[in-house]
Amino acid sequence: MADEERRERGLAAFERVMGFKPPPLPGDVFLDATLDHLFADVWTRSGLSVRDRRIVTLTVLICLGHEATLKLHLGAAMRTGQLTDAEIDELVLHVAHYGGWPVAAVASQVVRELRAGRNAGKATQP
């Protein structure tokens, strides 16, 4: 696949998965790899749906306690409608039992913050 086609595929996948366009950071090596590999090659694979990948990603982020990235992906799940509020609550509760109560407590706080912002009419994107 040509580099330009790969970038277009990555941009489209990023917007579909995250629910917003990536920031304009020309020449940013990390963003380039994110778009050209993670979104163009990984998120678009046929083995799992985007929703399935979202659940896996959220599970890992909750377990690792990566609050900032968790906010991005929980916000994306809410914006895109990939997961309902009830499904998000079940995911956090389930991960609490397998991944640890403290990290799930952080995730639960992130969920509350995102919902409060949403309910106040604030965008759930960064």
Q: Read off the pLDDT of residues 21-56 as tens digits, 9 standing for 90 and up.
A: 999 888 899 999 999 999 999 999 999 999 999 999
Q: Which domain holds residue 68?
A: 50-119
Does 124 map to a domain?
Answer: no
Residues 66, 90 within the same domain: yes
Does 106 map to a domain?
Answer: yes
Which CATH number characterizes residue 95's domain?
Answer: 1.20.1290.10
Question: Distance between the two ends of the chain, CA-based, in angstroms?
Answer: 31
Q: CA 126 to CA 36: how far, in whole Å?
A: 21
Residues 55, 34 within the same domain: no
Q: CA 30 to CA 16: how far, in whole Å?
A: 19
Residues 91, 64 within the same domain: yes
Does 66 map to a domain?
Answer: yes
What is the model's pLDDT at position 122? Answer: 72
Structure confidence at residue 126 as a pLDDT band (50, 70, 90): low
Does 72 map to a domain?
Answer: yes
Q: What does residue 27 show for φ and ψ, rounded to 5 degrees? A: 80, 5
How confident is the model over 77-103, as pLDDT tens digits?
999 999 999 999 999 999 999 999 999
Residues 114, 56 within the same domain: yes
What tokens were used for 112? 């509350």
Residues 65, 37 within the same domain: no
